[in-house]
Every structure is written in structure tokens, then in C-alpha cells.
Amino acid sequence: MHFSEILHKVLRTSTSSGTSGSIVKVAPSILTVDFCRLGEKLDEAIEAGIDWLHMDVMDGNWVINRTITFGPEIIRSIRDRVGPEITIDSHLMITNAEETWDQYVNAGADLIICHIEAVEDFPTLIKKIHQSGAMAGCVLNPDTSEENVMEILPDLDLVLVMSVVPGKGGQSFIPEVEKKVRNIRKAIDSQVKNGGKTTKLMIDGGVKDHNAAMVSGWGIDIAVVGSGLINDRATIKENLESIYKSLET
């Protein structure tokens, strides 16, 4: 799939207008899925209306808890399962993203998201990802300033703000990232007003039905949701409906 086709797919599947108070798109993180039931849960998510999947790739080295999750072959299998219309992003929490990102594109990822804290030459990385036909995103950890992304913002397709520390499951949402999110939203809106790229803004970590409306009000386009969407208490459809119902209040 060429870059223009991927861009069209992402823009088509986005329900947000990119302004404060808009409805956010929900993208499930598959980390909370029982991998013995992965195919079943993917089918359930898509039947519930999900059209964006978030892949948390950890190499057992870069994240603080040394977790190893999965690699390109699992993503390839997921792509084969869900087909070409579903957007798949790969959030690379790894030490060698600059050397291995293309494996995830070849596996079927539409969007490669790398940590600014783990990449030495981000402008070159963005260029290479775009040349491959994929989209490029940048991640900021909770304690990383938004100023670190401003220079490359005009070339980014997405900025992901972490609202928990990467690699640690079951953490509470960090509300102090609000200022960072709002500042990035303001910069994106200014960029678009001046004819620049419509960079998407994503948040990941601790988002559930009780705080989804809050992050929507900050100007988030896409919210990654893990245990708040995929759990044993309710179906994915029921949890998704609960999240969107909270956005209407």
C-alpha cells in the first residue's frame, strides 16, 4: 500500500475533528488479550466497530520492566486476520528502532511510532519511514517535554503522549500530561491553519470510560485503551459503548 493510500485510510477512519471537545477514536492495545484467544478477540473488536489496532512492541531491554511482547511475525498474522482496511500502528518500545522499523512495515503496519528518547536522528528516521510508504509517529514519555517534538512536528503524521510509564501494566493515569497535550494540540492547530500537515494526537495509558471525556476535551484524536476495553467484565462492544457514552455527557 502506498503512502497516499495509507493516509486516506487513516483520515477516513478518524472520527475526530482535531479540536478540543471532539469525539476521540478508540484504538485497543492487544497487550491485555489472552493470546490463546487473540484471533477471537480481534474478530470481536472489529465486529464492535474498531478500525484501528495499537501494537505495543517491547524488546525486553528498553522498557523498565524488561517485558518482551511480540515482533513482526505476530503483526503479520494480525494483518492477515483483519485484512487491509484496519489501521495498524506499531509502537516500538525498543532500543534499535532505527535499524529494525522496516520489519514492521513489511509485516503490515501502516504507522511506525518511535520514542524520541530512543532515537538519535529522528528527522532521518521520519524520511526513511515515509519513503517506505508508511506513516511516521513520535512518542513522548510522561516526563519528556513537548519542546522535544516541536522541531519535527511538521513532518510527523502522529504524536503519541504517554500518560503512564511505558512497560508497566495496571498503572494509574497521569493527569499532569494535560499541559503537554494541550500545547501540542495548539501547535498542531496552528500548523494546520498555516497549510501544514494534519498531525494526529494520540494518548496512551490508563484511559477508561471515567476519563475519556477529559482527554477528549484536551484535543486528543485517538485514545489507546487496554484493560478498559478488553477485559472479562464485559464484551468489547459493551465497553466501547460505555466509553462513547461517557463522551456524550
From the centroid of its chain, how far is CA 19? 18
Do 193 and 234 meet the contact criterion of CB atoms below 8 Å apart?
no
- Which residues belong to the active site? 56, 204
